[in-house]
Amino acid sequence: MPRTLVRPALASDEAAWRLLWRGYCDFYQASISEAVTAHTWARICDPTSPVKCAVAEAEGRVCGFANYVVHDNTWETQPVCYLEDLFVSPAARGSGAGKALLQWLQDAMARQGWARLYWVTHRDNATARRLYDQFSQADPFVRYVVRR
């Protein structure tokens, strides 16, 4: 199995990220406009933005990404990190890329002093939950979403 390298996304990763992003949106049956996609990528590339992205690379090709947001919070003095999106290409699933992305974020938490790393997934996403359970157990909170 090829070794997976995880690193911060570079501007030159845009085409690969967009291809994976489309796969991620398709998986969740989400229709994200080009304007939102372009804005998301612009924030990822902006060093002053709290929106960041790490990519997994195997054999010189980007095969996965983790979009995350580092933000202040009211329960700790240190910032926290919300893993907003995690996706690995179907061809790279089972290669350890997803685990490598999560481990990279956990290591970043230690290096950068985040109080916690957290994320949500669909309760029926059994494949992802098997991976996530290797890092932490799901907590008892229920998510509510208000849309305009």
Least confident window among 6-20, 66-80, 129-143: 129-143
pTM for the complete prediction?
0.91
Mean pLDDT over residues 78-88, rounded? 96
Provide the residue range defining the domain that includes 127. Answer: 4-132
What is the per-residue pLDDT across 15-74, written as a single tens digit (0 to 9) for each? Answer: 999 999 999 999 999 999 999 999 999 999 999 999 999 999 999 999 999 999 999 999
Domain count, the chain: 1
Would residue 65 count as lying in a domain? yes
List, as own/partner pairs, every contact residues 50-53 make where C-beta atoms lie below 8 angstroms and the sequence separation is at least 24, other chains included. Answer: 52/8, 52/9, 53/8, 53/9, 53/13, 53/17
Give the pLDDT mean for 133-141.
84
pLDDT at 97: 96
Gyration radius of the chain's alpha carbons:
15
- For helices 34-45 and 14-27, angle between their N-to-C axes, nearest 10 degrees: 130
CATH number at residue 52: 3.40.630.30
